[in-house]
Structure 1
Amino acid sequence: MVRRSRAEQQEHNRRLVLAAALEEFTERGFRATKIDDIAERAGLTRGAVYSNFPGKRALYFSVLADLAERPTEPVPAGTDVREALAAFARARLAGLPLTVGDQHRLGADLVPEILAQEPSRQAYAQLMKVSALLLGLALERLRPYAGRLVPLAETVLTTLHGAEQLTSAAPGFVEPFDVVGACAQLAGLDLAGGWPPAHLDFAPPARPADDPWRPPPALDAVTDAPAPLGEDGVVLVLGLHRLEAVEEAVRAGGAPVTAVLVSGRPAELGPLARLVVADLCRCLRQAFPSKAWPRLRLVHDPSGEVARAAGVTAVSDLTETALQVRSNRITGRAEGRGACHSVAAR
């Protein structure tokens, strides 16, 4: 029998812990589950669990993120905004439990745990901002002369989030088909754009640069395909509390934009980011034809490897750095509030 390397054994143990945690959280719920129970079910020590995850909360987010990233049954894509919103709602509501059961226990504590600490609450708010941007950009590609449709996307996500929470709090109350119909009707709303934000007039200009750009391989979470980081365009390195700045780059010019998501708490907030993005993008890929998928790319960077390639050696949840990339060189750079707009408009 071939012995596993240290890294292989670590990954093997991590998978055992995730599988055991899924079963424990499903059977008992988050709050009633103990790390000792997970370790026993996995056939590992308590220390082996903590060597892979800093705590039960990080493990819970990781379990839900893994589930969100699994392939699901496809639904027919829409060809216009109304059909796409209905398809998006069907995809989003497909996994909701209609009665109290195992799935209810598994996800019931997600929102309370997000709200339990300020860093996760702020990260979630920003992740919802980028979720609405992705959905709004897809809607705009189906209705190209309608202007900015992010407010419509925010309204749709608000409706679906409310339905999800009521399904958990009041099983049997929500009628999914009615919610799907309501989301389709939202296509007719005319909501104000609210763009651009006032601070962009005071954004510092980007600085010229001439540095090599050698990014590592990475996955685009929007398309679930390799991210072409070597192509010309704009690369944003953003902490999870500054994700709303992505739209500043998207609206500033026509160059492709890649947002690299980093965090000062990658072991805990990284899985939360994966969960929210995967929930949104899985439904988006099903509900919209591929020609309507946003050009925006999202890359999760929990190790900070892509950030270091961009010259960002220390990251936090407030990191905001933007790069202009041409011919495998970094030709422009800016940091701080307004940086994304400044570089993309350069």
Structure 2
Amino acid sequence: MVRLTRAQTRERTRTGVLAAARAEFAAHGYRDATIDAIADRAGLTRGAVYSNFAGKRALYLSVLAAGAEAASSGARVAEVRSPREALGAIARTWTGSGLAADVLDDEPARTAYAQLLALESLVLGLALERLGRPGRGVRAAATALTLLAGAHHLGAAAPGFPDPFDVVAACELLADLPPDHGWPPLYVEYVSPALPADDPWPAELPPAGGHGVVHVLGLRRLEAAEESARAATGSEVTIAIVTGDPEELQPLARLVLARLHGTLARAIPEPARPPLRLLLGHDADALVAAAGLTTAGDDTEAAVRIAGGRIVARATGRGAGHAASHAPAVGAPR
């Protein structure tokens, strides 16, 4: 018999716990499921479950994220040629993927979810713009997500209401929402320039070809992703999402990113998908280390400009993405 390594044993245990949790949540819902019942289904002790997951919410979000990731693989994109068609496709894809209110039952989780929704709205709004919507499309995308989330909660409280086809039609009408001119925010005019630097950047890490901007953002600062997304014209932008509470909040971020990936795969044609890379977990941690940050938490905001495989500029604090994106790309390989 082949002896499993400690990592393999842990992964097998986590897989068993997730399978048990999926069955328990399907049978009893989030509110009535218990860790004890999940442990019984998995044939483990309560302590063994807690040694792998922070609690019931982390387990629930991990189950949802795994399902969303599996569903997005091999997804077939809808026939979309306009912002109106994209909003309808987004609505059909997103329907039913909202979160129950009792899952986000504390301030850190609610704040993180609000920022994740802002990031989701940014990516979808940029896609609407690339499909021809005039002006800034973020407000139309955010309004669509608001409508869809509200319909999800109302549908749970009053099954059969509202009519999902009417909700999709209402989202399509948001293509005609007046252009949103709420960018840039006033404070970016007062952001200090990025500081020049000359440090190596690992060739195996994004951005591709060693040219672009890496924007490190904590879960409380994700709305700032728009700074680098809009300022780094013609450059690849990578957003490294970090948190000081990975056991509790990282599953939430993983779920939203999986949902966003699935929405893009099903509702947005490849040419309209924004050139914005979103990384989480170990992939994000590698970028944080390469950028030279010693700590990173939910309020982190930092950015580096990469050129010629080297860091040529650094910025930290509010407006870091804007500052780094406007720094000259003057590096050269050595």
Question: What is the TM-score normalised by the length of structure 1?
Answer: 0.88
In the superposition, relative to structure 1, how do residues 229 and 260 fare at CA in structure 2: closer, same or farther (>3 Å)? farther
User: Which of residues 303, 319, 322 in structure 2 aligns to 1:341?
Assistant: 322
C-alpha distance in 1 between matches for 2:146 and 2:32: 29
Q: 1:199 to 1:317 in 2, by over 3 A?
A: same
Query: C-alpha offsets along residues 153-173 of structure 1, whole Å, 9 cap, x if unaligned?
Result: 111111111111112111111
2:29 and 2:215 map into 1 onto residues whose CA distance is: 37
SS of the equivalent of 2:210 reads coil
The equivalent residue for 1:206 is 194
- Counterpart selection for 1:286 from 266, 281, 297: 266
- Per the alignment, residue 330 of structure 1 pairs with 311
Q: Which residue of 1 is the match for residue 145 of structure 2?
A: 157
Are 1:323 and 1:333, in contact at CA under 8 Å, matched by a contact in 2? yes
Deviation of residue 325 (structure 1)?
0.7
Is the 8 Å Cα contact of residues 213 and 306 (structure 2) preserved in structure 1? yes
Q: Shift of residue 77 of structure 1?
A: 2.9
Tell me the distance in 2 between the aligned counterparts of 1:339 and 1:271: 26
Counterpart check, 1:264 vs 2:266 = no
Name 2:155's counterpart in structure 1: 167
Residues 1-346 of structure 1: pairs in structure 2 closer than 5 A: 1-71=1-71, 74=76, 76-93=78-95, 95=96, 110-114=100-104, 116-143=105-132, 146-214=134-202, 228=207, 231-254=210-233, 255-301=235-281, 304-346=285-327
Q: Tell me whether 313-322 or 64-73 shows the greater mean CA deviation.
A: 64-73
- 1:280-336: per-residue Cα shift (whole Å, max 9, x none)? 221122111100001111001257233112211211100111010112211110100
Task: Show the counterpart of 1:101.
Answer: none
* CA displacement at 1:113 relative to structure 2: 2.2
How many Å separate the matches in 1 of 2:290 and 2:197?
A: 14
Counterparts in 2 of 1:230 and 1:307: CA distance versus 1, 3 Å: farther
Q: Which one-letter code corresponds to 2:163 in the other structure?
A: E
25-34 vs 256-265, which moves further: 25-34
Q: Distance in 2 between matches of 1:74 and 1:194?
A: 33
Supply the distance in 2 between the matched residues of 1:231 and 1:170 (Cα, whole angstroms).
52
Alpha-carbon distance in 1 for matches of 2:67, 2:126: 25
**Aligned-residue CA RMSD (Å):** 1.9
* Equivalent-residue separation in structure 1 for 2:189 and 2:57 (angstroms): 40
User: Sequence identity of aligned pairs in percent?
Assistant: 52
Determine the C-alpha separation between the residues in 1 that align with 2:61 and 2:71. 18
Contact 1:75–1:87 at 8 Å: present in 2 too?
Answer: no
Q: For 2:131 and 2:48, locate their aligned partners in 1 and report how far apart those are by CA, in whole Å.
A: 49
CA contact (8 A) 2:301 2:318 kept: yes
Counterpart in 1 of 2:330? none
Q: Number of matched residues?
A: 323
Equivalent pair of 2:213/2:232 in contact (CA under 8 Å): no
Distance change >3 Å, CA 75–CA 179, structure 1 → 2: farther
Query: Aligned partners of 2:231, 2:217: CA distance in 1, in Å?
Result: 17
Q: Judge which range, 74-83 or 150-159, deviates more.
A: 74-83
CA drift of 1:235 comes to: 0.2
Q: Which amino acid aligns with 1:172?
A: G
5+ long unaligned stretches in structure 2: 328-334
The residue identity in structure 2 corresponding to 1:244 is E
Aligned to 2:332: none
- Which region of structure 1 is more displaced relative to structure 2, 64-73 or 193-202? 64-73
Return the offset for 1:344.
Answer: 0.5
Match of 1:221 in 2: none
* Cα distance in 2 for residues equivalent to 1:266 and 1:76: 34
**Contact conserved, 2:304 with 2:311, CA < 8 A, in 1?**
yes
C-alpha deviations, 1:28-85, integer Å up to 9, x for none?
1223222121111111222221111122221122111112212256362311111111
Give distance in 2, aligned partners of 1:4 and 1:166.
48
Determine if contact 1:136/1:152 at 8 Å carries over to the other structure. Answer: yes
Q: For 2:213 and 2:115, how far apart are their aligned partners in 1? A: 20
Q: Which residue of 2 aligns with 1:222?
A: none
Moved more, 2-11 or 180-189: 180-189
What SS class does the counterpart of residue 214 from structure 2 fall into?
A: strand
Runs of 4+ in 1 over 6 A off after TM superposition: none
The whole-number CA distance in structure 1 between the counterparts of 2:54 and 2:92 is: 35
